[in-house]
Structures are given as C-alpha cells and as structure tokens.
Structure 1
C-alpha cells in the first residue's frame, strides 16, 4: 500500500483508531482493577559443604555443591517441605495450594538458591517464605543428602537474606497492562480502518472510473453552505465550490471539440447525489461566461429547482408539453443570460411525456434561442426518465456522490445510457471531502485563490462586489448569476 494512500485511510478512519485505542487502554485499566493483587516475598539461601580444614576436601565440596544446587530447586515445593510448613503455620492452606505458591531458581555458576512465595497478603507471603526456607534447609540436609561419619549433614544451607514484607504487588502490572492495551487497541483500530477501506466499494476519485472508460470532468468539494446557498456563486463567487464549477464548465467546453455539445443533460445513478444542484451551478457558470443559457427542469417526479430558486412552479415544462402555454411564456429569467423552465405540475405519466415527440420539439425550440441548454433529469437506475431525456441531448453528464455511489451503480448507470445510444461524456464527483475523497492531496481542492483583503477586511480596489440586496429593480433584470435574487 502506498504511504500516501495509507495516510488517506488513516485520515478518514482516525476516529475509529482513536476509539479502539481508548477502549484498549480502558481494558488494560479494567483488567488491572479486576485482577487480585499478588505479593511476592523472596529468601536467598547459600549452599555450602560442611566445614573442613583439608584443602582438597574443600575444593571437592565446592564442586559438589555447584553440581547439586540446580537439583535442589525442585525440592522447594516438594511434599516434604509443604506438609511441614502447612502444619507449622496453620494458615488454612493445603499442601498443594502452598506448592503452587512456591518457586525456586539458582543462578548459574553460583551456590545460591532463591526461594519465592506469592500470596494475596504481603505479611503472609513473607511469613510463608521464611517458613519454607527453614523447612527446605532441613529436608535437603537430612533427607536429600547423606550425613558424614560424625552424623553431620555434608551440605549446609544458610539463609543470607530472609524475606521481608513486600511493599508493592508483582501482579497486576498496571504499566504492562495499559501499554499492552494501548498497542492492541491501536493495531485493532488500524486493522479495522484498512479492512473497511478494502471492503468499501464506493467511488472516490478518477481511478474508480477507469474500468468503465468515463473521464471525471469535475470534483466538487463538500461545502456545508450548500443547503443554505445551493448556487455557489451567490454565497461566495471565489469559494472552492465556485471554482470547481468553473473548472467543470471549462472541461465541458473541450468535450467533442469538433462538434461542441449545446444541449447537456445532467443525471445521476440514484437520488441524493446532487444532480439538481450541479445542474443549477453548471448553468450559472455558463451564464457567468457570457453565454445565453436555459435550465430545463425535466425531473418530473421529484422536481426541486423551482422551489430552491424561489420560482413559480405552477407553469413550466409539463404545461408546455400539454399545450397550455408556450415556451417563451413559461420561461422565467433569473439573471443576465440565464432563464429557467421549471417542471410545472407533477404529471401522473412522466415517462410517457418525456418520451414524446412534443418533448423533443420543446427542447429543440429552447435550444434554438440560447447558446446552452442544461437539462436536469431523473436518476438513471430507479426510473427510465433519465435515459429518455439523455437520448435527446448532445452530451450527458452523470453526477456521483463521493463515498456513497458504489462502483457497481456507476457501471450500471453507464450501461443504462449506452442502451439508448448515449454514452456519458464524463462524470462529476460531488461532495468530495478529505474523508470521502481519495485524491484531495493530488488535486488540491481545498486551496483557494481569491482577491486579497485590506487591513479592514474589505476587498482591494477594483474587487468590489454588489450583493442582491444592493441592486435596484432595473439592475436585478440584468444581474449576473452570481447575484441572482430569489423570487
């Protein structure tokens, strides 16, 4: 996996990584709190042979104890030792329970034995350790090893460091538990975000459309102000969203250079991908460039453009189709170079109306009066309306929402258009964010290049702009799409 790709995945999934890490640390703390404390008391025993004045016997004795000391460790928790300690201390333990508490080790090349006894009580651990050391000495000296001719044991064990009451438990180890929980939580979180990304089959960038052979004409960044100001040029003509629509406009003008499309259908695979918002902004961007544009609302099932722009919705495309009004009478101007033909009343048979010869004639009549006709259509996969309108256009643009539309839905939408002989000229990836988009690092969609402001927060000389409220009624009739007032 490319490091930049991993960083993108991490940027998108850091909340999940954080949650898993916190849960891991909490689990470590919980395990520490739930685990009973165990204290360990230790006794150090020195092993030597019986004293002698003969140097050779002394040397032999040292060699003897060095060879035997490792085997003495297994005697520490033997029944001979534990039975005696249980009877002596009367602490309510069985011989096996005590044996489970005892461990012993002998450092290499030394005649030392370390006896360790664990218990939930630090005082009792020290008491048991000292008792075990005493009985261990007796068992080794009198039962394990033989006595000399004088009846004295040939091996002598001496306690050089008796057990003291431990001040801190050996279990649980809070540092280890919390550290282990942190590491495990972090690894689980990273694994989950990587797995989620591998299982994620939604479209996020141009690479996702390579298999269907459709180029990406534009990537529109997610803007929280869209619901409040659907037309980007109204709220901030220099925002990243406004610039993205200008880029889309530019890219469309290079599609089919020898036969530039003048009738452009905008559709989507499924509802909720932002096709209507894209249609409005594409029309506004074309009008901003000085072209005469008409926006036709041909989504006759869930029309939204008329209501969004504050236009009259009782008269529109459907009333023209059934002959109740003319095209010119139904058009509503919302600014310089931009007119809108709303959907009109919702009909009971939208598919039949759109597939009629009258619909083709109306679109052709509108196109004859303007430079560009932008048609907002219904989604392709739920109904046939979108494909029917796309067949009347000269170019079709499909809008997909980053992180929502699946690759399969994108493929099926292209197939639906190809069935009517209208392959899309490109797609628009909408609502791209740092979490849903895969290519924000490469395309720099989050940078802006706007006029500088002076020290008082005002734009420099020559960059003044008028808001819709500052326009006179005469100015409003000739307003650009950047300052279109709602009606």
Structure 2
C-alpha cells in the first residue's frame, strides 16, 4: 500500500478514527482531572576544594571536583542520606520510598549539583529538599575526609535553597489531552489499516475487475451507485431519468448488448451470491432500462422463497408464476403491467420451490415469454444458500451476478461463480451494486455535472392573442389521481436490498398488457 491507499483507508474509516481520537482525548482529560497533584522543589549545591592558593592548585582542584561530581550525585539518594532525613523530619515513609522521590543531576563541565524532590504537598517538598541537601553535604564531607582526621578538602555549599512551589508539575492537563488525542489518532489509524487488511469484501469496480480477472471470470459490466432514495423510487430510469443510478443501468444495458454480438442474450437471469445484495432492484431497473429503448420486456420473479418484485413495484403477488406452473391459469391471465414493461410475479410461495423451478413446465413458460417479448429478465434466488438459481440454467441465456460493494466477500464471489460453472451456466458478467461515489475516482461526479439543462419555461404559457393562461400550479387545480392496483399495503413495501421498510412508493402502475 502506498500513501494514497493509506489516505483512502483513513477517509473510508474516518468514523472509527474520530471516535478513538475523542476517547483518547477524554481519557487524557480524565487522567488530568483525577490524578493527584505532585509538586517539585529544587536545591542547587556548589562543589569546591578548600585547599589551594596558587593558580595551578586551583585548576587541579577544579578538575578534581568535576571528575567526582557525578559520583557525588549518586550519593544523594543513598540510605546514608534518606535514613537520616526520614528520622529527622519524622516522615511517614520508608528510606527507600524517599529515595524514589529524590533525583540529582549535574551540568556538564560544571561543579553544580541540582537536587529535586517531588511530593504531594508543596511545603513538604521544599522542606525535604533542603534537608536532603544539608545531609548530602555532610555525607560527602565524611566520605572525602582523610584518614589522619584532618578536615575534608571538599565542601558543598547551597547556592539556591528550595522554596515551596506554587504550581504542580504534574498532572499537566494540556499535555495529557494532547497525548490522549495523539494516542487515539494513532490507535484509530492502526485499527483502520488492520480492519482494511482483514476485510475480504469488494469495495471498488477496479477491485472486482482484478478479482474476476485473476481466475478468468466473466467481465465486469459496470457498477451502480448507492442512493438512499431507492426505497421510495425503485425504478431509477423513471423516477430520476438523469440520475446516477439511471445512467448506471443504461450503461449496464449497453454492456449486455456487446457481451455476445452474434447471439445476444434474450432471457437474462439476475442473481447474487447471498440475499440482500440488491438483485431484485437490479432486475427491475434492467427491465425498465431495456424497455426505455422501445423493446417489449417481461420481468419474471422466480425467487419462490422470498419474492420481492411485487412488493417493490406495488403489484399483486398472489397470482403469478406458481399459479401458471400448477395449471390454475395461463400466462396471459396473470401478467401485470409496471408501466413500460410487463411483470410475472412469483405467485403464492410453494412448499417445493426447487422442484417447480426444475420442471419442464417452467422452461415452456420462459420459452413462450421469449417468443412474445424482445427481452425477458428473470429475478432468481441467491446462488449460495439454495439451488433454485442453478436449476434454471438451461432455460436462460445467461446469468448476471450482482455483487454488493463493501459486503460481498471475495470468497463468496468465487464460490458463486464456481457453482454456476458446475451446472454449465453461462455467466454474462458481474455488476457491482450499491457502490460509494468516492470509490471510483469521481466518475459519478462527472455524470452528475453532465445532466441535461432544464429549459426555461414560463409559469403562464402564452395563448393566441398575447394573453397568458394560468397553469394548474397556483390555480387551485389538482392533478387527477391515478389508481394503484390491489396488492400489498403501500406503507409496508420491501426495499431493493431485500429489507422491509415503512415508506410509500411514489410510482404509477398502469394495468395494460403488452403484446
């Protein structure tokens, strides 16, 4: 992965990064609020040599102290110092506990020693620091005292006694919040990269193309962008003629024409590896896109386990394919109209869907529809859960495999294609459905910018003689309502992705048979 890939991952999983950054910031602020304040008191000492009158002796004494000053600093937290300070000040701690609160530092090329004592009370920190400095000077003098009993040549003088600090050095709210924010951002970025590396789903059109090309699979015929309005407006080429979804289905229609120029597919089965990947929505819109060219189209719902075509289009489901297969009606009697194309709904859900779909009667029904209509689009069940889609392989000209972006895994696509290949089914191509407009490099943005301009029309059209006639809008006139056919309630329709939604389908359904 290069830098652009990492940035793409972060932009795709920005919610997780933001949440962890906020949690890290909150943790830093909580730590700063609940932590016990700690104060720091400093005492500075100067190390010198008493003997020496001339310049040479002074230089030698200075070199001597510089060479040993680092060793003196190690003595500051020794038991020789801490034991006496604890006993003298009657501190409620052990010498080893006091030792952990003392630190001694030296400046390079100097004879200065800085003693630092930390404590939860500012006055006690200063008191301990001064006591440690006093005892430290005595211990060093005793260590450097000659064996003959003469006075020690080394003297430690306090040049800056400790005073009670006014502000705690810990916690530091700004620093803690900044550390928490940085830690949260790093953790969020790491989690995003880890989830991306473990994610087996197909996200972009290029990823799907590379996947199917890896095992000589069928061509990728396009992608359909995700639109939250699809539940309310299921037929994209009718409800939003120049929208992104409508243009995507038109590109799919064009791609299908070039799959096999010598023998163009007439009966096209639309399926998917798993449920809720949008195959019904694709089948409905493919039928509408084919009918947009003036061809006669019939949509057949062969998903006899969870049929949804009638629910999506607001049609009657009780009489349909199963009614014909059991001999209770002829095809012409149960065909319904969805405006520009005809629909043969599933009918009642049977107890043996696989046996009905594998019967010769179904092949005869599809053959008769293929003779009557220019195109027949078949909505089938998913490939992997059941065998319903594969048993009609010899009754259709080919399959269109619908893959849902960011949901269908690579292994599921491979398994679905292998299942269709085992029954010698012809897979016309694959389609990436419900993709994000950010995944394919701005193609959808160009499509949106290339929408046709709306003509400028006057609110009051001119009549002969220069007079203006008021339009229906604003004149109080209401449009004539168009009756919907009997069927399921419009407030409990099923979305194109197979999920139940409480919404109203804004479409007009006319009952007119196509010949």
> Which residue matches 1:139?
139
Indicate the SS of the match to 1:257.
coil
The alignment yields a C-alpha RMSD, in angstroms, of: 2.9
CA spacing shift, 1:410–1:143, aligned 2, 3 Å: closer
Is the alpha carbon distance of 1:132 and 1:350 closer, same or farther for their aligned partners in structure 2, counting shifts above 3 Å?
closer
Q: Which residue of 1 aligns with 2:176?
A: 177
Alpha-carbon distance, 1:393 to partner: 0.9
Within 5 Å, give how 1:288-437 maps onto structure 2. Answer: 288-336=292-340, 338-433=341-436
Residue matched to 1:478: none
Q: Please tell me whether the aligned partners of residues 201 and 405 of structure 2 are also in contact (alpha carbons under 8 angstroms).
A: yes
Give the 3-state SS of the residue equivalent to 1:117 in structure 2.
strand
Equivalent positions of 1:90-239 (< 5 A) are 90-146=90-146, 152-204=151-203, 205=205, 206=208, 207-212=210-215, 213-239=217-243
Residues 365-374 or 136-145, more deviating: 136-145
Once the two structures are superposed, what CA deviation does each residue of 1:150-189 show, in whole Å capped at 9, x if it has no partner? x544222221111111122233344443333222222221
1:284 aligns with 2:288: yes
Aligned to 1:476: none
After superposition, give the CA deviation of every residue in 1:229-267 in whole Å (9 maximum; x if it has no partner).
211133211111111111111111111011111111111
**Cα shift readout 1:115-143 (whole Å, capped 9, x = no counterpart):** 22221111111111112222222332344
Select which of 264, 271, 295 maps to 1:267: 271
Range moving further from structure 2, 274-283 or 349-358 = 349-358
Cα separation, partners in 2 of 1:241 and 1:445, compared to 1, 3 Å? farther
Q: Retained in 2: the 8 A contact 1:316–1:343?
A: yes
Question: Residues 293 and 60 of structure 1: is their aligned pair in 2 closer, same or farther, counting only changes over 3 Å?
Answer: closer
- The offset of 1:316, in angstroms, is 2.0
1:366-393 Cα shifts (integer Å, max 9, x gaps): 1112211111112222222211223211
**Contact 2:221/2:252 (<8 A) preserved:** yes
Q: In structure 2, what is the Cα distance between the partners aligned to 1:343 and 1:93?
A: 84
Q: Distance in 1 between matches of 2:429 and 2:178?
A: 51
Point out the more displaced range, 230-239 or 392-401: 230-239
Rounded Cα–Cα distance in structure 1 between residues aligned with 2:295 and 2:263: 17
Alpha-carbon distance, 1:60 to partner: 3.4
Instruction: Give structure 2 stretches of 5+ with no counterpart.
Output: 460-471, 473-477, 483-505
Instruction: Tell me how far apart the structure 1 counterparts of residues 248 and 307 of structure 2 sit (CA, whole Å).
Output: 24
User: How many equivalent pairs are there?
Assistant: 467
Give the structure-2-normalised TM-score.
0.83
| Secondary structure in structure 1 of the residue aligned to 2:230 | coil
Query: Which of the residues 226, 244, 251 maps onto 2:248?
Result: 244
Q: CA deviation at 1:106?
A: 2.2
Structure 2 CA distance for aligned equivalents of residues 91 and 472 of structure 1: 92
Q: Deviations over 1:85-128 (max 9, x none)?
A: 33332333433333332222222221222122221111111111
Q: State the match for 1:462 in structure 2.
A: none
Measure, in 1, the Cα distance between the counterparts of 2:41 and 2:348: 89
1:233–1:483 Cα contact (<8 Å) kept: no
Which ranges in structure 1 are unaligned for 5 or more consecutive residues? Answer: 459-465, 474-481
